[in-house]
Structure 1
Amino acid sequence: MTITSEEHVLVINPGEFNPKAYEAFRALPFVASLTVIPGVGYGGRSDPAREVTAEEWARTTVLLTGQALPPSPEAAPNLKLVQLFSAGSNQLQKLPFYRANDKTIYATASGTHGPAISEWVILMMLSFFHNSYLYTKWQAEARWGNDSEFPKPVIDQFGRTMGVFGYGAIGRQTARVAKALGMKVVAHSFSSPPKKERVEVAVPGSGDPDGSIPEKWFAGAEQLDDFFSSGIDVLVVSAPFTPETTKIINRKTLAKLKGAYIINIARGGLIDTDDLIEAVESGLIAGAALDVTDPEPLPDGHKLWSVKNISIAPHISGHSVGYEDRVTNIAIHNVKQLRAGKLVTNQVDKAKGY
C-alpha cells in the first residue's frame, strides 16, 4: 500500500559534517519539514548539540542520526525510519528506545564507507610494507636517506593473499582495490551469499556485487578455522560486531595467521587487545593497523600506543568529502521504498544485531 502522508525529517548532524547535504529532502514533494540539529562528538557517537524538543520528536517520521534516539516510543509515535550514519548498529543495542520499540525500521549506512575505507586499508598496508614513514623523517632532517636503514625488507603485494573477514560493502570494495594490485583474495562471511542481493545505493558501481573476486569463499562458524588457516598475508577485519564475533581474533586465531599483517576497520571488540599485543611483540604477527580499538577512544598511557609495528587511527578511516550526500542518498531511497510498501536497503535485523 502506498503511503500518502507527509514526512517530517529530523537530522542530528554528526560532528563537523556538512548540513547542506540534507537539502535534497526539500525537493521531495512529500517532505513537509526538515530540521537539522548540529551534533557533538563524531560519527556514530554524535549527540545533539541542543535538546530535541517534545514537539520535534512527536512530529518526526524520519530520523537521521548517529546514536541519539527519542527518550521513549511514546515521545515519537510517528517515527517509522531511523537512518544511521554508521555501517554498524551496535551503538544502539542498549538504548531504551531501540529495545522497547518494534514499530520503527532501522537502516545502516552500509555502502557509504567503501571507497574511503578501502583506500585507507591500502594506504596502511603499503605504508607498512614499504617503510614509507622513513621518507617523512628523512625529509624533515633534510637528508638523502638509504634503504639500508629500512627495519624490514620492502615487500610488494603482487601475488600475495588478502583475507577479507566480513564481505559486506567495505569488504567487497577493499577486495576490488586489492585485486587491482595483483593480490589474491579469500573471503569469509557468516550469512551473505557470494552474490549481493541488492543494488548499491550509496556509491553505485562500487564493490563486488556478484562476489566474483574471491578465489575462495568460506562461510559460517564451521569454516572459520579453515579461513584463518588459508595462507593469509594481510587480514582485513570488516565483520559486524556481535556476540558471535566478540574477540574472535584471539590467541588461537593469531596462531593460524602467523606472519600476517592485520587491519581492523570494523570495531575494536572483534580483537582481543592483549592477545594482539603479545602476538606482535613476539613476532608471531607482522603488525597491525587499527582504526578502531578496544577500549575506544584509546586512553592515555595504554600500551597499544607504544607497540612497535602497530599503527593507531582515531576511527576516521571512513571520513571523506561527500559522506553526508551518500547517507542522504540511502535515506531518500529508503523513504521512497517505505512509502511504496517495499523493503528498505541496509535494514537492521535486531535478532542478528546488524
Structure 2
Amino acid sequence: RLGRWHGFSTKEPTVQLQGKSLGIVGLGSIGWEIAKIGHVLGMKVFALKRKIEEKDLKKKNILEFLGEKKDLEKVIKESDFIVVAVPLTKETKGLIGKKELKLMKGKYLINISRGVVIDEEALFKSLKEGNIAGAAIDTWYQYPSLKQKEVLPSKYDFQKLNNVVMSPHTAGYTDRALEENIKSVFNNIVKIYYGEEAENQIDTELE
C-alpha cells in the first residue's frame, strides 16, 4: 500500500508451511479435510480424536501421529501450527488453558471450534505478551443479540493486538455454503428413504 516493495521489503521472512508440523485438535470431518491439505503442503500432521475408529486407521498414512485426549500435550509440543476443531461439549469447554498455552511458545493457534474451548483471559495474555507467535480466531466469547448493533467479541482487546487475525464467525459463510447445505439435506432424505446410512450424523454420546 505504501509502494515499498524493493527486494526483501518485509522485516521478517514469511513462514513456509512445507516442512512445518500441523497439530489438529479434533479429527472430525473438518479436521480430516485440514489434515489432507496439510499433508499435500508437505506438513507433518499430528492429530487428536476423542474416539479413534477403524475408518481413521485406514487413512492414517497421511498422519505422523494419531492420538486421544491424553496426548494433547504431545501434539502441542510437536506442532508449529495448532488448529482447534472440536465441538463444544462439557468435555471440551476450557480444553485449552493456561498450561497448554504456555506450551505454544512461538507457535500459531487457529480456532474454528468455539471460543470457550480456549480460556479467554489466558489466550489474550499469551498473545499480548508474545508467547504465542500469532492466532487466527473465528469463534468468540461475546455475540450480539438481534437488538445490538455493535458488540466486541471479547471483554479483552483482541482487536488491538497486531498478532491476531480476527473474523466474525464466518468460516462457513461462503458463496456455495447454502447450496451445498441444501444438497446435503436432500441427499440424506433420499438415502434414508432407501434405507441407506445418512451422512454427517451427530454423535449422540456427546453432550
Q: Shared fold by TM > 0.5?
A: yes
Amino acid at match of 2:76: F
TM-score (norm. length: structure 1): 0.52
Distance 1:326 1:176 in 2: 20
Are 2:151 and 1:299 aligned? yes
How far did residue 276 of structure 1 move? Answer: 0.9
Q: Is the 8 A contact 2:124 2:156 kept in 1?
A: no
1:249 aligns with 96
- Opposite residue 271 of structure 1, the aligned amino acid is I
Q: Are the structure 2 counterparts of residues 150 and 313 from structure 1 closer, same or farther at C-alpha, using a change threshold of 3 Å? A: same
Which of 66, 74, 80 is 1:233 aligned to? 80
- The aligned counterpart of 1:214 is 63
Q: 1:196 Cα deviation (Å)?
A: 4.9
**Distance in 1 of aligned mates of 2:54 and 2:126:** 32
Which residue of 2 is the match for residue 109 of structure 1?
none
Structure 1 317/146 Cα, relative in aligned 2: closer, same or farther at 3 Å? farther
Instruction: Specify whether residues 227 and 329 from structure 1 end up closer, same or farther in structure 2 by C-alpha distance, changes over 3 A only.
Output: same
Cα distance in 2, alignment partners of residues 328 and 177 from structure 1: 25
| Equivalent pair of 1:268/1:296 in contact (CA under 8 Å) | no
Residue identity in the other structure for 1:334: N
> Does residue 182 of structure 1 match 2:32?
no
Distance between the aligned counterparts of 1:185 and 1:171, measured in 2?
11
Structure 2 runs not aligned, ≥5 long: 145-149
Matched, 1:273 2:120: yes
Q: Could you tell me how far 1:188 is from its partner in structure 2?
A: 0.7
Q: CA deviation at 1:228?
A: 2.2
Task: Tell me how far 1:214 sits from its aligned partner.
Answer: 1.0
SS at match of 1:185: strand
CA contact (8 A) 2:60 2:66 kept: no
Deviation at 1:342, TM superposition (A): 4.0
Q: Which residue of 2 aligns with 1:344?
A: 198
Q: Is the 8 A contact 1:164 1:238 kept in 2?
A: yes
Secondary structure at 2:55's aligned position in 1? coil
CA distances 1:36-66 after superposition (whole Å, capped 9, x unpaired)? xxxxxxxxxxxxxxxxxxxxxxxxxxxxxxx
Name the Cα RMSD after superposition.
2.4
Aligned residue number for residue 147 of structure 2:
none
Match of 1:168 among 18, 22, 28: 28
2:15 maps to which residue? 155
The residue that corresponds to 2:72 in the other structure is 224
- Give the CA deviation at 1:151: 4.5
Q: Which of residues 132, 136, 142 is equivalent to 1:285?
A: 132
User: Partners of 1:239 and 1:333 in 2: how far apart?
Assistant: 25
**SS of structure 1 residue aligned to 2:30:** helix
How many matched pairs?
200
1:334–1:344 CA contact under 8 A, matched in 2:
yes
CA offsets, 1:210-252, max 9 Å, x none?
2431111111x322222223x2100111111111111211111
Higher relative contact order (CA 8 A, sep 6+): 1
Query: What is aligned with 2:176?
Result: 322
1:195 aligned counterpart, secondary structure: helix
Task: Please give the per-residue CA displacement for 1:6-64, whole angstroms capped at 9, x wherever unaligned.
Answer: xxxxxxxxxxxxxxxxxxxxxxxxxxxxxxxxxxxxxxxxxxxxxxxxxxxxxxxxxxx
Whole-angstrom distance in 1 between the partners of 2:156 and 2:121? 11
Task: Please give the TM-score of this superposition, normalised by the length of structure 2.
Answer: 0.85
CA contact (8 A) 2:126 2:132 kept: yes
Check the 8 A contact 1:292/1:314 in 2, yes or no: yes
